[in-house]
């Protein structure tokens, strides 16, 4: 059928989009590629539609369906949505996405290229024409071009060529597009969703969660929007979770396992019930993790993939447990996050732990015991604080110690506990020995930004202290607020406050931090300290690991760097791609040991499954680049190079 017919069918309600389809995900590169192919007569692929009665399956949008038989678009949504948006100048009734992706498309009649509107580049060149305006005006638009070009001497000689190209552009809607049809009374929702999944799984264009959610949405059309509402609510409170992550939590409530396979047959009632229970459990956990551990925003919320296991536990006890059970659960979570329990083989490790939980009649004890056997020792060692950067796993540990204990601000002298500062308060990272002073002494990036050189203070304190050395400002702090230094685990030997003893200062503070971490962890056990004994029998030891891993390489060193990557992430999203993971934890898949921290990474590509894993390593040493390359990442070392990669990405016309 002609493209114009497809668009008319959408307007009349004869062609619809099933609710289990995801939203519009294309970017501007893909929009340009599609119109380039259509203009030049290149193949753009066929459509796949399900011909059925309108009342047999929920569809997207509020427009009334055509009475009787309708065609539900299974494959071709991205292409048809793009053409409709450009030709009609508005999104189709079933649209769910960002309309700016296809708004403002221009065509150059001289070079025969498509670009999106750029005022400085285009305003003085009359050969740039608005594609949507031409499509909406039709032959009237061609007449207007004739009049306009006829009055410009330098263009009038080629007016026939230009009008021919405009006519060729206008004729796009008259091109034929082949549509395969699924018909038959035996074609129910489950069968069609299976066809849809097989069609879309070959190139991994949809995540496993997306494919499973397609089945769920066939029965519960509002599932995706209800999940997004929860995600947006958590984002407003400072936590950034993904749809797949939430779906995994729902799945563990529903099925007691990490894999999504059983979601294919779940009823709408069961899914809705499990979604409600999972959301309630997550909110209970966030309340406890924030209130008890002080991890009150996404930057310090490590170990996110421990949540599905914890959600299962909270749901089993119906959200009702005493302080002892709460703290034991938080102890296990802290351990899982510190040692990267789910940084490697995520699904299999989640399933192992869920199985332990399911078979346990002794609460959380067997789960903690299993962690002890897997790790070998659950005690924190001073060497664990030899890491550096904001992405080190022990950065959240340092933050938690600050928020849980007696740590006090060095300007006001007030406690920094989470419940005293407020749930959404933001502490600032302070370099105890100023960065500029250390760089001037020849120290490297890792030494300057060592965790043991960091503490958390209010913004006021951070600004007040400036670039003074500890030997100068420590005595002032102690005089104004006795005990405030010790509350932040500062060695009490004034000799260690001198810059020429910087290395000794770090070692001494690492000991104090490790002692404090073990003390806080012991408190969470409420006397059940047997789990702090080293125990890894040879028959169980499958992942031998030294008590303290070597210092991790890579990572951000300042909030300024973090802000730059945040802005870059927003820019990437504006191009229609997925956001990257800031401070990506590159871990050994077998042991969970952190190998490196990648500043900004896309482990599944900037468009999932359609491009290679990429990482931006901002001002990182070659060792980090080597580790990332070994793990299969294509690496960029400057923001400009990465931007160029995104803008120049020419992958051809992807399938829907």
Residue 3: pLDDT band (50, 70, 90) is very high
Most confident range, picked from 111-115, 376-380, 568-572, 636-640 = 111-115
List, for residues 301-348, the tens digit of each pLDDT value: 999 999 999 999 999 998 888 999 999 999 999 999 998 888 766 788
Q: How far is CA 389 from CA 257, 507, 620, in A?
A: 34, 17, 11
The pLDDT score that the predictor gives to residue 204 is 35
pLDDT of residue 645: 84
What is the average per-residue pLDDT within 164-181?
92
Is residue 440 predicted with pLDDT exceeding 70? yes
77-88 vs 3-12: helix axis angle to the nearest 10?
A: 90
Averaged pLDDT for residues 32-45: 91
Q: How far is CA 591 from the centre of its chain?
A: 23
Instruction: Categorise residue 553: left if φ over 0, alpha if ψ from -120 to 50, beta otherwise.
Output: beta
Q: What is the pLDDT of residue 211?
A: 67
Question: 219 vs 615, which has greater pLDDT?
Answer: 615
Using alpha carbons, list the distances in angstroms from residue 230 to 240, 311, 340.
11, 15, 26
Predicted pLDDT at 538: 36
**Mean pLDDT lowest among 2-11, 168-177, 239-248:** 239-248
d(CA 17, CA 183): 16
Question: In 10 A of CB 4, how many CB atoms?
Answer: 14
Q: In angstroms, rounded to a whole number, what is the distance separating the alpha carbons of residues 599 and 596?
A: 10
Write the pLDDT tens digit of every residue in 495-553: 999 999 999 999 999 999 999 999 999 999 998 888 876 544 433 333 434 334 445 56
CA dist list (Å): 370 to 352, 355, 536, 541: 10, 11, 10, 11
Structure tokens at 284: 């209970």
Rounded to whole angstroms, how far apart are CA atoms 560 and 542? 41
Distance CA 176, CA 4 (A): 9
pLDDT of residue 548: 42
236: its two tokens: 């407003």
Burial class for 176, CB neighbours closer than 10 Å (0-12, 13-18, 19+): exposed
pLDDT of residue 423: 44
* From 16-30, 64-78, 161-175, the region with the lowest mean pLDDT: 16-30
Q: Are strands 594-602 and 614-616 parallel, antiparallel or unpaired?
A: antiparallel
Check pLDDT > 80 for residue 206: no
Q: Give me the pLDDT at residue 188, please.
A: 67
Q: Is pLDDT above 50 for 74?
A: yes
pLDDT band of residue 469 (cuts 50, 70, 90) is very high
* Residue 181 φ then ψ, to 5°: -120, 135
Q: What is the pLDDT of residue 419?
A: 59
User: How far is C-alpha 146 from the geometric centre of its chain's CA atoms?
Assistant: 50
Task: Look at 450-454, 546-550, 553-557 and tell me which has the smallest mean pLDDT.
Answer: 546-550
> Are residues 305 and 350 in contact, defined by beta-carbon separation less than 8 angstroms?
yes
pLDDT score for 544 = 37
Q: Tens of pLDDT along 642-652?
A: 888 887 653 43
Q: Which of 288, 285, 317, 287 has the alpha carbon at shortest distance from 304?
A: 285
- Mean pLDDT, rounded, of the chain: 84
The pLDDT score that the predictor gives to residue 550 is 46
Q: Residues 87-146: pLDDT tens digits?
A: 999 999 989 888 888 899 999 999 999 999 998 889 889 999 999 999 999 989 898 888
Q: What angle do CA 368, 369, 370 make, to 5 degrees?
A: 90
For the beta carbon of residue 472, count every other beta carbon within 10 angstroms.
11
In sequence order, the 6+-apart residues with CB closer than 8 A to the CB of 16 are 10, 54, 59, 60, 61, 65, 70, 71, 72, 73, 94
- Residue percentage of the chain with pLDDT more than 90: 40
Residue 629 to residue 526: CA distance in whole angstroms: 45
Left if phi > 0, otherwise alpha if psi is -120 to 50, otherwise beta: which for 103? Answer: beta
pLDDT digits (tens, 9 = 90+) for 569-627: 888 877 767 788 887 878 776 666 778 888 888 887 876 555 678 999 887 888 888 88
The answer to whether residues 602 and 578 touch, using CB atoms and an 8 Å cutoff, is yes
Task: Give the Cα separation of 85 and 639 in Å (integer).
Answer: 32
Q: How much of the chain is helix, strand and coil, in % rounded to 5?
A: 55, 10, 35
Q: Is the pLDDT of residue 157 over 60?
A: yes
């Amino acid at each position: 059928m002609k493209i114009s017919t497809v668009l008319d069918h959408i307007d009349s309600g004869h062609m619809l989009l099933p609710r289990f389809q995801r939203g519009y995900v294309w970017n501007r590169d893909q929009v340009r590629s599609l119109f380039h192919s259509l203009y030049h007569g290149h193949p753009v692929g066929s459509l796949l539609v399900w011909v059925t009665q309108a009342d047999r399956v929920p569809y997207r949008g509020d427009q009334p369906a055509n009475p009787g038989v309708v065609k539900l678009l299974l494959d071709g949504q991205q292409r048809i949505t793009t053409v409709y948006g450009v030709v009609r100048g508005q999104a189709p009734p079933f649209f769910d996405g960002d309309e700016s992706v296809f708004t403002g498309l221009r065509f150059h009649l001289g070079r025969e290229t498509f670009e999106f509107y750029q005022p400085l580049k285009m305003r003085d060149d009359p050969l740039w024409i608005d594609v949507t305006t031409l499509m909406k005006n039709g032959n009237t638009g061609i007449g207007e071009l004739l009049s306009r070009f006829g009055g410009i001497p330098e263009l009038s000689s080629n007016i026939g060529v230009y009008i021919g190209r405009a006519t060729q552009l206008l004729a796009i809607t008259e091109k034929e597009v082949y549509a395969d049809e699924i018909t038959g009374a035996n074609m129910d929702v489950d069968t069609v969703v299976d066809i849809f999944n097989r069609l879309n799984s070959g190139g991994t264009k949809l995540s496993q969660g997306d494919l499973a959610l397609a089945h769920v949405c066939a029965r519960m059309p509002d599932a995706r929007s209800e999940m997004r509402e929860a995600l947006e609510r958590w984002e407003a409170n400072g936590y950034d979770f993904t749809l797949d992550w939430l779906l995994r939590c729902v799945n563990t409530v529903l099925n007691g396992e990490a894999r999504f396979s059983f979601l294919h047959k779940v009823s709408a009632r069961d899914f809705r019930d499990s979604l409600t229970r999972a959301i309630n459990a997550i909110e209970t956990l966030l309340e406890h993790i924030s209130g008890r551990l002080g991890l009150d925003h996404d930057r310090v919320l490590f170990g996110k993939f421990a949540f599905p296991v914890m959600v299962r536990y909270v749901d089993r006890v119906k959200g009702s447990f005493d302080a002892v059970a709460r703290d034991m659960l938080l102890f296990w979570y802290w351990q899982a996050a510190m040692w990267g329990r789910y940084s490697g083989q995520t699904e299999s490790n989640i399933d192992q732990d869920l199985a332990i939980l399911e078979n346990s009649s002794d609460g959380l004890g067997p789960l903690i015991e299993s962690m002890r056997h897997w790790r070998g020792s659950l005690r924190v060692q001073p060497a664990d604080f030899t890491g550096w950067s904001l992405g080190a796993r022990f950065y959240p540990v340092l933050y938690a110690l600050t928020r849980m204990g007696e740590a006090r601000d060095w300007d006001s002298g007030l406690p920094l506990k989470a419940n005293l500062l407020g749930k959404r308060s933001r502490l600032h990272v302070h370099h105890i020995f100023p960065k500029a002073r250390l760089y001037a002494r020849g120290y490297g990036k890792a030494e300057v930004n060592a965790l043991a050189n960091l503490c958390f203070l209010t913004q006021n304190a951070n600004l007040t202290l400036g670039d003074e050395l500890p030997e100068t400002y420590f005595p002032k702090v102690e005089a104004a607020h006795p005990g405030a230094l010790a509350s932040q685990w500062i060695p009490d030997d004034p000799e260690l406050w001198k810059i020429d003893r910087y290395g000794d200062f770090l070692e001494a503070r690492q000991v104090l931090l490790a002692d404090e971490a073990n003390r806080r962890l012991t408190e969470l056990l409420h006397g059940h300290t047997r789990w702090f004994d080293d125990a890894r029998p040879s028959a169980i030891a499958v992942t031998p690991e030294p008590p303290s891993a070597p210092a991790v390489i890579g990572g951000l060193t300042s909030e300024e760097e973090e802000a730059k990557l945040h802005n870059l992430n927003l820019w990437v999203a504006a191009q229609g791609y997925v956001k990257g993971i800031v401070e990506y934890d590159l871990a050994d898949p077998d042991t969970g040991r952190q190998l490196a921290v990648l500043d900004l990474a896309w482990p599944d590509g900037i468009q999932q499954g359609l491009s290679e894993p990429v990482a931006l390593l901002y001002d990182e040493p070659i060792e980090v680049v080597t580790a990332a390359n070994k793990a299969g990442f294509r690496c960029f070392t400057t923001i400009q190079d990465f931007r160029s990669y995104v803008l120049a990405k020419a992958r051809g016309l992807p399938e829907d």
